[in-house]
Amino acid sequence: MKKLLVITATAFMLTACGAPSVDKLVGDQELLAEVGMKCEKLMAQGKSTDTKECNNAREAAKKIAENLMKDMGL
């Protein structure tokens, strides 16, 4: 019973944290890749990718691309 309570509390805390922010995803490319894979999986299953997490990942990827272009002088 105690294990179930610990698992439930942990799951609640993880979901309460919400989707990673755009800035966090820009700064943590591994996390961005993980979120991107999760969104690709949703898309492959025919599910909606119009979620805060997927939208933040798209925005982070766009921001990274813009920064690269700016650094290259384009």
Give 28-69 pLDDT, tens digit per residue.
Answer: 999 999 999 999 999 999 999 999 999 999 999 999 999 999
Place of tokens 């820009």: 26
Q: How many CB atoms sit inside 10 A of residue 74's CB? A: 6
What's the chain look like in SS3? CHHHHHHHHHHHHHHHHCCCCHHHHHHCHHHHHHHHHHHHHHHHCCCCCCCHHHHHHHHHHHHHHHHHHHHCCC
pLDDT at 74: 75
Work out the pLDDT band at 18, boundaries 50, 70, 90: confident
pLDDT at 17: 63
Q: Please tell me the pTM assigned to this model.
A: 0.71
